[in-house]
A and B are shown apart, each in its own frame.
Chain A
Amino acid sequence: MKKQMLAVAAVVAVSGLALSGCSGSGAAGDEIVIGTSVPLTGPLGTMGTPVSQGYQAAVDEINAAGGVEFGGAKHKIKLVIQDNASDPAKAAAQAKDLVLTSKAVALLGPVTPPLSIPEAVVADQLKVPFLTSITPIRAFGGAAPEGWNYAWDVFFDELQMTQTQFQASDLIETNKKVVLFTDTEEDGVVMGKLWEENAPKFGYEIVARETFAVDNANFSSQVADAKAKGADIVIAQVIPPEAIGILKEMKAQGYDPKAIFMEKGGNTGNFVNITGGLGLGVMAANWFAEGMGLADEKKFIDAYAKTIGGINSDLGILVCGYSITYVLADAIKAAGGTDAAKLSEAIGKTNGDYAIGHIQFTEGHSAPLKVIQTQWDSNNNQVMVLDLQGKAATPIVTPEAGLK
């Protein structure tokens, strides 16, 4: 009996040692759980799908190479993806669930401020590192006047983005009259104000600003007003259904301006198709295109352009997701583990070249990406017309071809 008791005690002791070895953070063979709540369905589903593909592609690559190295061992990543259906409340709840239930040591973000900001707030509350993209940095920073602690954002600066439309317009002959179409969403309000401020600096005149409620369908009065004002340039910050409505009304009223910029709405991968060809020639700011000179440009075009359906912003979103996953993996390596404070600090020290370009964070926890201007062609590609230096690339086709 005594021998049996000793044997049981020995087994328990050995098992306990083994288990403690497995559960310790940073020990050899540990799997790192990273969570992400993204919009795979709902109005933002078209953007959430490529960003999650980017996360998964990077994780698969990292795991295929053995995992993230720290503490003398390689640790594989387990990516837990949840669909928040484009619902901010659901996004926040899932972010919490990923940390508390799935035990995620870090979170990768969704897309756009309405979803990224609620998740960033949860991450700061739970003190878990959070890294997001496809969220303009001023909107991100503006949501936390006291500053973020664990949340980080990699995307364009609205100020630079709202200059590219005028820089691109400089490349063609126009009467320098601009009409703005902005909905009442936060980015519509912010961008509209920046365009109004930037226009005179570039020698342009805003002759009308057409404002409307989100998901507005009928644009007859706004387009009639824009046409009557004789604007050669239309700049819009709209969602895809609004973009379609505006283009249909422009076609019906015979209004074919020399340049049409449709930000956000024009950054939908299948834009020319969903507009029935009316979107052919529409321009939109972008952060990934052929000819930008990014190191892995060709790799991504070869691997994904065919499945995505062209070299367009969906591919850019995928590359953003891929890049910030690598930023997180590098930070885990630099922090020597998954301790939240050390990991967040390591993210902040990021200063390197990634697939989407150079990433370096500023004091506001944001890493600005420079954007270019692109124009939709008939092959469902967004062709670069204004490069990273603000210079001409491929000549702009004007007037907009789809409205002819």
Chain B
Amino acid sequence: MDFVNNLVSGLLLGGLYAVAALGLSIVFGTMKLVNLMHGQLLILGAYLTSMLIAVIGGGDPLLVGIAAAAILAVLIYPVQRYIITPVMAQGEEPPMTVTFGISVVITTLLIIIFKSSPLPTWTVDYATTQWEIFGVRIREIYVIATGIALLFVLALMWILKRTAFGRQVRAASIDAEAAGLVGIDVKKTYARVMSLSSFVAAIAGVLIALSFSVAPTTGTGWLLRAFTVVVIGGLGSLPGTLIGGFIVGLVETAGAVWIGPQYRDVIVFGVLVVILLVRPNGLFAKVAKA
């Protein structure tokens, strides 16, 4: 039963990792931009939710988190439109550097406003409740995270394939210049994609805060984990990101149980290196490119 427990626990933890990585995947898949502020966007989502809860005097973090995610999406739109997009014409490095700079600004502002302490834990039952189904123990928050991951992947795939906005995004991602020539406002499209990515990141940040803890400086660790998920799953592939999350969750849990928790990162990044040696574009880059 321990084996099944660990398998289920690892898979569901992977669902959380997938949500955390989805925003990164969307941005890379569309703009070929390695968004180094993604980790800070996750954390910012949690802090914005906390601020909103304080302002309205309570509320469920996941519900309030939707409002916080919308606010973050609005805030990040001009950042992409007027700061990041203008430097994208200069090659891959300048926009990456800009996102790194913005990540430092976000961290510094969070430290100034909230100090260095972890974000106070929200007292909601589902954050610390565990179900037992046929002897298998399942943490409720991981189930919620996995459900949200599936929902986001399906919704994002639908948006990209079935809506006018999605067609613009796909056109811009294939050939931005040609998309511009046929009347698509690529700059606005990029800004909308970054807003969408931030919305997803903010919800993921709330789930991370509910599951573990967040502090102003924890974004970097989550950026690294999100990268691992995206690279394993296949750069820019949404279903690949979901599967990448499951793989990382499983490998992490199995490694911790059967080899030792202190080797968790060694095992995860070891698997990443092996996968990249065999499939340099990740497991699902060609199979299921969004």
Contacts and interface: CB of A to CB of B under 8 A. Distances in A.
Interface residues of B, number: 42
A75 B214 CA distance: 46
Interface in A267-281: 268, 270, 273-278
Contacts of B121: 244, 248, 274-278
A274 B117 contact: yes
Given A248-B211, A252-B128, A42 B261 contact: no
A276 B13 CA distance: 22
B115 A45 contact: yes
Interface in A15-69: 41-46, 49
A215 interface: yes
B181 interface: no
A252 B13 contact: no
Interface stretch (B21-29, B70-78, B93-101, B249-257): B249-257
Interface string B1-32: 00001100100010000000000000000000
Contacts of B137: 253
Interface stretch (A98-106, A145-153, A160-168, A205-213): A205-213
A42 B122 contact: no
Nearest to A253: B130
Contact of B129 (A46, A220, A252): A252
Interface in B216-268: 217-218, 221, 252-253, 256-257, 260-262, 264-265
Chain A, interface size category, equals: 35 or more
A113 interface: no
A222 interface: yes
Contact of B122 (A45, A184, A220, A276): A276
Contact of A254 (B130, B213, B260): B130
Nearest to B261: A212
B160 interface: no
B163 interface: no
Interface string B111-144: 1100111111111000111100000010111000
B217 A43 contact: yes
A46 B117 contact: yes
A274 B212 contact: no
A212 B264 contact: yes
Contacts of B116: 41-46, 86
A251 interface: yes
B261 A210 contact: yes
Contact of B262 (A41, A211, A274): A211
Given A42-B111, A241-B215, A248-B212, A216 B118 contact: no
Contact of A212 (B130, B257, B262): B262
Contacts of B108: 41
Given A252-B129, A276-B123, A215 B253 contact: no
Contacts of B117: 46, 240, 268, 270, 274
Contacts of B120: 270, 273-274, 276
B115 A46 contact: yes
A186 to B, nearest CB: 15
B118 A252 contact: no
Nearest to B254: A221
B100 to A, nearest CB: 17
Interface of B: 5-6, 9, 13, 108, 111-112, 115-123, 127-130, 137, 139-141, 208, 211-215, 217-218, 221, 252-253, 256-257, 260-262, 264-265
Given A216-B264, A248-B213, 5 more contacts: A46-B115, A46-B116, A211-B260, A213-B262, A240-B213
- The 4 A-B residue pairs with the shortest CB-CB distance, nearest first, are A276-B121, A45-B116, A244-B213, A251-B128
Interface of A: 41-46, 49, 86, 184, 210-213, 215-218, 220-222, 224, 240-241, 244-245, 248, 251-254, 268, 270, 273-278
